[in-house]
Structure 1
């Protein structure tokens, strides 16, 4: 007779996504979003070119209707999605409104959104990538680095450590 072992439990910390979802749930609920799904997948829904100039802000349901989280059996249909659009792309977005609504509803599999409300205004700008600058090492710094790496026998490891050391020592700090 074969014995079955109980399932092994994971004893590590919970994933960050679970904590983030719990932390943002109330804020998103006030904006009409049951979860981050439409915000996270906006580029997949409308395409990368339109997603670059727009962002979903609020999902409003008609009176007497509540998000799916509150109504267990019936799906909420006919919501209005408030979309912030940057600059002159609002005209293009308005022209493509029927196709965008169709894409959203196709993505979710039911008539989740009935109409779009477009608000023209600036989008929050993404943070520019941080390009670190490195200065060349002085003779003394180069000599100290070579002295530290003298004992390393493996050439590939020595080269990697030398590159790392020169980057660490040559980092230019920005003033706050």
Structure 2
């Protein structure tokens, strides 16, 4: 009885398993680079990402560049309209060249028509549960601040930063 052939790669990352299906789905909507979809909050910022999301990239009728269509709620459309040049610059920086020449906004209701597709709630990474030692260190860093709200904000920031550093140090081992 012979052994079945073994793979030489070992374990594969989950991102590698879904990269190809995501790329095909993104290309169907005109997104040649899926990074715009997967890293939208990092490209445009959390505030804009909570108000709009990319839906489609199409060809410009006038010839040069592409048209990015963003989905937003009606109340956020005027705010986003003022920020369109900055959004276009951020998106083009993601591509590395002037891929997007124009951005159009499509307005919808705050809740989606099909299973919450248009729900605009931005969620950052899951909350890190810091250990008591990390919390004590964060409180010590913010202890000299007299304003209570500023002290609380600095404590939260220090807690997240110290927890992330601790997590990165554990991964490096």
* TM-score bin, normalised by smaller chain: 0.5 to 0.7
In our comparison, the structure showing a higher alpha carbon Rg is: 1
Decide whether the 8 Å contact of 1:42 with 1:51 is kept in 2: yes
- RMSD of Structure 2 on Structure 1 (CA): 2.7
Give the unaligned 5+ runs of structure 2: 1-6, 111-117, 124-173
Task: Name the count of aligned residue pairs.
Answer: 109
Residue 33 in structure 1 maps to residue 28 in structure 2: no
Decide whether the 8 Å contact of 1:87 with 1:120 is kept in 2: yes
Give the unaligned 5+ runs of structure 1: 1-8, 66-76, 129-176
Alpha carbons of 1:103 and 1:118: their partners in 2 closer, same or farther (altered >3 Å)?
same
**Equivalent in the alignment of 1:81:** 68
Alpha carbons of 1:85 and 1:109: their partners in 2 closer, same or farther (altered >3 Å)?
same
Bigger helix share: 2
Distance 1:22 1:57 in 2: 19
Distance 1:89 1:126 in 2: 13
TM-score by length of 2: 0.54
TM-score by length of 1: 0.54
Local SS of the residue matching 1:59: strand
Alignment of 1:47-126 (within 5 A): 47-62=45-60, 78-121=65-108, 122=110, 123-124=118-119
